[in-house]
Amino acid sequence: MHETIKSNIHWVGAVDWNARKFHGYRTIYGTTYNSYVIDDEKVALIDAVKKGFENQLFDRLEHAGVENVDYLVVNHIEMDHASGVETVLERFPEARIVTNERGKKGLEDAYGIQRDAQIVDTGDELNLGEKTLTFVRTPMVHWPDSMATYAVEDNVLLPNDAFGLHYASKKRFDDEFTEEEMGRIFYEAAKYYANIVLVYSKQVQGVLNKIEDLGIDIDVIAPSHGIIWRKRIPEILERYKAWSSGDAEDKVTIIYDSMWGHTKEAAMEVAKGIDDREVDYRLYNLENSDWTEVMAEVMLSKGIIVGSPTLNGEIYPEVAGFLTYMKGLEPFDKTAAAFGSYGWSGEAVGKIINIFDELGFDTAGKTKWIFDADEDTMSDLRELGREVADKIKP
């Protein structure tokens, strides 16, 4: 049922085994809605759960021996955390909401919850008896109201969406997973960052710096989704520093779609060029690829090469859709190239390059041709792969 994190600090959240879509991307392993209770002279519940999962929360509170809640800390008002707040307040009507100004307004706007709240800002404290909570505002990681809660005496950071991932499991802690399983866990954390947090990387760096400036020790990071970190904290912190700084691996992600197979054949030639330089690469046909995974690979790769035929003077729809999605997440520090076949006009490649320019990518080159690529074009495509590979090699 509940899981004990430190003395009188418990996980009392909910597991959603069947979640398969979240924020517009696939969550193939489900997710969790993590809620935490600190049972002291005064009892504080840190975040609620998604509406419909309140019974799991209440069952776990009962299992932990918690009969009342004095404070409900709302770190973030988004629906996966706060749509259950109203039900929690019905169950514990004396509970006082603790949140920031944006959080209070968000509860009113999103759920019609109009109650007095204890408004907190970075550095403010809430005394529960033997335990003390302090708060760190984390605006735009990833909403304006977002904040983190820190249990001072226990060195437990409760950062809401930061350091999370979508992964349903009976295991709660990172040290319960094998090294092989942790490979998947870290990849899901990267996917989560790439598809939700990436656009707010500057804010993430600011929060990381703020935590360092506060001089707090961290024994446990207990986010609002996925597993609780207590063994591999240095690793997840280092990865967040890398992802938020644009650091990536020496590999290339090739992304394409094809109308009659010409661009698909070309993608294989581009890959041969990369292979010539013994550089790692990933190859994704957007016709049957999960954008969530592709976006994770874009973030993790130093190079990106996009292929598209031209349709009605535009980028092919699936490629255009993904590029719009990618543009919104603002990946940075990429070496890029574009290629594609056309029948009579050929605007797609140029429009892809324009998107690269908007994102500030270092464009290595482009190749386009009419219908089926001849030997000279095939040679150009392989050279395009080599050029990108050469630019990203250390």
Share of the chain above pLDDT 70, in %: 100
CB 40 within 8 A of CB 179: no
Tokens coding 289: 């690829």
Measured at the CA of 183, the angle between CA 177 and CA 186, to 5 degrees, comes to 95
- Say which of 161, 174, 188, 380 is annotated catalytic: 161
Q: Does residue 144 surpass a pLDDT of 90?
A: yes
| Mean pLDDT on 247-259 | 97
Whether 1 shows a pLDDT value over 80: the answer reads no
Question: Where does a domain end: 245, 268, 283?
Answer: 245
* Residue 228: per-residue pLDDT: 98
Residue 214 has pLDDT above 80, yes or no: no
Catalytic pick among 40, 47, 54, 78: 78
Residue 345 has what DSSP assignment? Answer: -
Q: Please say if 275 is a catalytic residue.
A: no
Give the model confidence (pLDDT) of 281-294 as tens digits: 999 999 999 999 99
Same domain, 185 and 272: no
Q: What is the dihedral of CA 251, 254, 255, 260, to 10 degrees?
A: -170
Same domain, 378 and 310: yes
Structural domain count of the chain: 2
Read off the pLDDT of residues 342-371 as tens digits, 9 standing for 90 and up: 998 999 999 999 999 999 999 999 999 999
280 neighbors 302 (Cβ within 8 angstroms): no
Choice among 23, 67, 358, 374 that is catalytic = 23
Instruction: Using the predicted structure, report yes or no on whether residue 216 has a pLDDT greater than 80.
Output: no
Q: Which of 25, 71, 192, 342 is catalytic?
A: 192
Backbone φ, ψ for residue 264 (5° rounding): -60, -45
Give the whole-number percent of the chain exceeding pLDDT 90: 92
User: What Rg, from alpha-carbon coordinates, does the chain have?
Assistant: 24
In order of 27, 35, 53, 67, 327, the CA distances from 47 in angstroms are: 22, 5, 13, 17, 31
Verify that 152 and 200 share a domain, yes or no: yes
**CA distance linking residue 250 with residue 234, whole number of Å:** 22
- Residue in 337, 338, 301, 334 with CA at minimum distance from that of residue 316: 338
Note whether 201 and 327 are same-domain residues: no
Q: What is the mean pLDDT of residues 208-220?
A: 84
Answer yes or no: 76 catalytic: yes
| pLDDT for the residue numbered 366 | 97
Q: Are 157 and 215 found together in one domain?
A: yes
Residue 293 belongs to domain spanning: 250-392
Asked if 81 is an active-site residue, the reply is no
Active site residue 142: yes
Residue pair 373/262 in contact (Cβ under 8 Å)? The answer is yes
Task: Give the domain CATH number at 48.
Answer: 3.60.15.10
> Do 177 and 276 share a domain, yes or no?
no
In this structure, which amino acid lies at residue 90?
E
Annotated catalytic residue within 225, 318, 342, 387? 225
* Residue finishing a domain among 188, 218, 245: 245
The question of whether 2 is a catalytic residue gets the answer no
pLDDT at 134: 96
Is 23 assigned a catalytic role? yes
Catalytic-role residue among 47, 80, 154, 293: 80
Nearest residue to 77 via CA among 132, 139, 29, 151: 139
Q: State residue 141's pLDDT score.
A: 87
Q: What is the pLDDT of residues 89-101, one digit of tens each?
A: 999 999 999 999 9
What global pTM score does this model have? 0.94
Domain limit, last residue, from 222, 245, 268: 245
Does residue 385 sit in the same domain as residue 240? Answer: no
For residue 84, is pLDDT > 80? yes
Residues 153, 269: one domain? Answer: no
**Statement to judge: residues 179 and 298 lie in one domain:** no
